[in-house]
A = this chain, B = another copy of it.
Amino acid sequence: MTKTLLLLPGDGIGPEVMAATRTVIDWFNGHGAGFACDEALVGGSAYDAHGVAITDETMQKAVAADAILFGAVGGPKWDDVGYDVRPEAGLLRLRKELELFANLRPAIVYPALADASSLKRELVEGLDILILRELTGGVYFGEPKTITDIGNGQKRAIDTQVYDTYEIERISRVAFELARTRRNKVTSMEKRNVMKSGVLWREVVTETHKHGYEDVELEHMLADAGGMQLVRAPKQFDVIVTDNLFGDMLSDVAAMLTGSLGMLPSASLGAPDALTGKRRALYEPVHGSAPDIAGQGNANPIAMIASFGMALRYSFEMIAEADRLDAAIAAALDKGVRTPDLMSEGMTKVDTDGMTAAIVAE
């Protein structure tokens, strides 16, 4: 089995947290893992070098790789570049062309950090929920998507939310299957009271549930009420499945609940290949490129390192190694090592390299 990784550090703190992750990959290679790494540009840095947010050559490498590790893209430097070549376009092209339709965003509260949440401790202590976001459909990619001049100094902007049955069905299956490995409950969120896509969403999730997943508990919630419930009592959830745009909003709220934004990884998976059973996969931190702290060597590398941990788990079936890496992260935190974003009284402040070294040591 090959183990090729394409590293796409991107912009801002992306290269810093990717360098830290490379140290971890090297450690695994030193213990016989045999990862072959390639690296390429994406986002603003690709735009600066090539005038596009990702080149065709990099796309070919992405298609060929067993897994992609993605840092972060964007920053004020590229605020005024054209819509089609803006940094985010690189990420969206990867998601769409590799058909990475299933985006797993765990929101976990690390015991050592329960007090970092803006929520009261008892509401988030032990929190472990998973937002499963549909990632290749909806308003992100639907056509028409245009701004047109309609005369009289007026413009009209249009975005289109489109969902077909099969798109909802395949993400529902992933939701039910993931729930079975967890607490066996799925909450589906949409706005069927105002959106036709919400009506179809609920219909297809309900149908899919009836065919082979009735052992999993299924509940439906309007997305606005879901946002409220996430803030009120997040522990009521196990797996939340929702569309691309609601998933963007809700997963960010869920991430912030944990108080551990710099800690949260994500995985974006495609369908298993008919022949090999292998899924295309991209792993990235939930946090962004944080241009305000870039270049200082102070970024928290945990979300990126934990994203590599998800790659071990979902792309390489290295479950024991993934568990070991997660345990090393928790152990480093338990010892009181903290990057500036996590710093609190009585803890030991370290930079990116210090945190990485602490994890590798464990």
Q: Is A158 a contact partner of B160 (Cβ separation < 8 A)? A: yes
> Which chain B residues border A232 with CB–CB below 8 Å?
118, 256
Q: Residue A154 contacts which of B145, B157, B166, B193 (CB distance < 8 angstroms)?
A: B166
| A199 adjacent to chain B (CB < 8 Å) | yes
> Which chain B residues border A145 with CB–CB below 8 Å?
195-196
A205 smallest CB distance to B (angstroms): 13
Whether A193 touches B88, Cβ cut-off 8 Å, given contacts A157-B163, A159-B161, A160-B158, is yes
Q: Residue A150 contacts which of B139, B164, B195 (CB distance < 8 angstroms)?
A: B164
Give residues of chain A (234-291) contacting chain B, Cβ–Cβ below 8 Å.
245-246, 248-249, 252-253, 255-257, 261, 288
| A155 adjacent to chain B (CB < 8 Å) | yes
- Once the chains are docked, how many angstroms separate the CA of A255 from the CA of B200? 28
Of A3-11, A211-219, A221-229, the one touching chain B? A221-229
A249 smallest CB distance to B (angstroms): 5
Q: Is B159 a contact partner of A196 (Cβ separation < 8 A)? A: yes
Q: Is A253 a contact partner of B233 (Cβ separation < 8 A)? A: no
Q: Residue A158 contacts which of B74, B162, B231, B248 (CB distance < 8 angstroms)?
A: B162
> Which chain B residues border A196 with CB–CB below 8 Å?
83, 145-147, 157-159
Q: Is B256 a contact partner of A253 (Cβ separation < 8 A)? A: no
Q: Is A253 a contact partner of B252 (Cβ separation < 8 A)? A: no
Q: Is A248 a contact partner of B231 (Cβ separation < 8 A)? A: no
- Once the chains are docked, how many angstroms separate the CA of A226 from the CA of B180? 33
**Copies of this protein in the complex:** 2
Closest-by-CB residue of B relative to A193 is: B88
> Which chain B residues border A154 with CB–CB below 8 Å?
164-166
> Which chain B residues border A255 with CB–CB below 8 Å?
228
| A32 adjacent to chain B (CB < 8 Å) | no
Q: Is B256 a contact partner of A228 (Cβ separation < 8 A)? A: yes
| A197 adjacent to chain B (CB < 8 Å) | yes
Q: Is A228 a contact partner of B248 (Cβ separation < 8 A)? A: no
Q: Is B153 a contact partner of A165 (Cβ separation < 8 A)? A: yes
Q: Is B249 a contact partner of A224 (Cβ separation < 8 A)? A: yes
* Given A157-B163, A191-B248; 9 other pairs, CB 8 A cutoff: A83-B196, A118-B119, A157-B197, A157-B201, A159-B196, A224-B249, A224-B252, A231-B253, A253-B253
11 A/B residue pairs, CB under 8 Å, sorted by A: A83-B199, A92-B194, A118-B231, A118-B232, A142-B158, A145-B196, A157-B199, A159-B160, A160-B160, A224-B248, A231-B257
